[in-house]
Amino acid sequence: MQAFVFQIAPMRVLFGVGSRERLGSELETLGAQRALIIADPSKAGLSSDLADLIGPRCVGVYDQVAPHVPIETAEAGRAEVKRTNADCCITVGGGSSTGLGKAIAMEIDVPIIAVPTTYAGSEMTPIWGLTQDGVKRTGRNPKVLPKVVLYDPELTATLPPQVAGPSCMNAMAHCVEALYAENANPVISLLAKEGISSLAESLPKVMRDPANLEGQSQALYGAWLAGLVLGSVGMALHHKLCHVLGGTFNTPHAETHAIILPYVAAFNVEAAPEARKYLEAALGTPKIASTLRQLCEASGGPVSLKALGLGETDLDTVAETATQAAYYNPRKITTEGIRQLLEDAYHGTMPQP
């Protein structure tokens, strides 16, 4: 067995239908008296229910949440925490709400309780993101990691299938890359494998019947594991390509991950035999890349870069940008190799194996 380092962040996770109702007792455990709810505006009903639940310990609901945490949004959120003298932030919503909570915790010493309503997984990671002058910077800081996460499958049941499907694929991508991470370790690999099988099984269920809480529980469990592995080990080529595509061409986050994943898997698996074993076990087939491609199709989103509106010449830009700086990947990265991968993803051809 290869030598490894295992480190995991200290945090508390409450999982299950109705777990949001335990918000009050979690505030008590933290010793918080003045909680500010930071919520996606589309979650106004849920925020108001949570505010009622904690009564006078709620000092307000702040809903100025925006995608990718613009710096102005972060500064306004920090000012609101100071104005209300909050001693805790409760984030309610997807990665954008969690992201604002993290941007606040970077600068102000307040614990976060996260109540996720999507499968994004940000609540499990110490990774922050801030957008300034159109450029998104990310980094890691243990200060931004929520102290408590309440995963309640009733809250993801309102996700429309066209959002839920690609979001499951995005979570799956974190698990796939965790298996061949530079600092991979056997415990994280077990979690990643479990995450992949949960997400693969639940994806068609949450698409077909969003109100089915068994399917939602399985998907949210997979999303939790995906966030956990993303926060614990490094990522590689897949995340780099999606970052370049999103940053340069503003392609949609989850859909881009869903399209690219099968092609990166096809590119990397031969060079990562351990990861390959875990993937085969998780998906129940040696046909890893083609199965991921089928799942991408089942997720209801586009299956090719062409369908996202990219032109063939854009692929050169992506290949060049993605190979400029050195980073870890199990298989050697060359501009030609990446260009071919992108070409396949552009046409959405069925990858092998």
Interface with ligand NAD (CB under 6 A), residue from 89, 100, 103, 155 = 155
Report the chain's C-alpha Rg in angstroms: 20
Using the rule CB under 6 A, give the single segment among 151-159, 273-281, 307-315, 337-345 that binds ligand NAD. 151-159
Interface with ligand NAD (CB under 6 A), residue from 86, 104, 159, 266 = 159
Least Å distance, CB 197 to ligand NAD, is 20
Least Å distance, CB 285 to ligand NAD, is 27
- The separation between CA 248 and the C-alpha centre of its own chain, rounded to angstroms, equals 20
Residue 22, CB-side half-sphere exposure with 13 Å CA sphere: 17
Least Å distance, CB 66 to ligand NAD, is 8
- Nearest residue (CB) to ligand NAD, 130 versus 289: 130
- The CA distance from 120 to 226, in Å, is 9
The answer to whether residue 210 forms part of the interface with ligand NAD (CB under 6 A) is: no
Interface with ligand NAD (CB under 6 A), residue from 120, 200, 237, 283 = 120
The answer to whether residue 67 forms part of the interface with ligand NAD (CB under 6 A) is: yes
Residue 87: phi and psi, rounded to 5, are -115, 10
Least Å distance, CB 119 to ligand NAD, is 7
- Nearest residue (CB) to ligand NAD, 110 versus 269: 110
- Nearest residue (CB) to ligand NAD, 102 versus 276: 102
CB atoms within 10 A of CB 242: 25
What is the largest distance, in Å, between two alpha-carbon atoms of the chain?
Answer: 61
User: Position of tokens 């499951």?
Assistant: 168
The answer to whether residue 95 forms part of the interface with ligand NAD (CB under 6 A) is: yes
- Nearest residue (CB) to ligand NAD, 247 versus 284: 247
The answer to whether residue 68 forms part of the interface with ligand NAD (CB under 6 A) is: yes
Interface with ligand NAD (CB under 6 A), residue from 19, 73, 122, 198 = 122
The answer to whether residue 163 forms part of the interface with ligand NAD (CB under 6 A) is: yes
Interface with ligand NAD (CB under 6 A), residue from 127, 168, 223, 308 = 127
The answer to whether residue 178 forms part of the interface with ligand NAD (CB under 6 A) is: no
The answer to whether residue 149 forms part of the interface with ligand NAD (CB under 6 A) is: no
Least Å distance, CB 236 to ligand NAD, is 16
* CB-based contacts of 206, cutoff 8 Å, min separation 6: 156, 159, 161, 164, 165, 168, 212, 215, 216, 219
Interface with ligand NAD (CB under 6 A), residue from 70, 77, 94, 215 = 94
Q: How many residues bind ligand NAD (CB under 6 A)?
A: 27
Interaction mask 227-266, ligand NAD, x per CB under 6 A: ---x----------------------xx------------
Tell me which residues touch ligand NAD (CB under 6 A): 40, 42, 67-68, 93-97, 99, 117-118, 120-122, 125, 127, 129, 155-156, 158-159, 163, 167, 230, 253-254
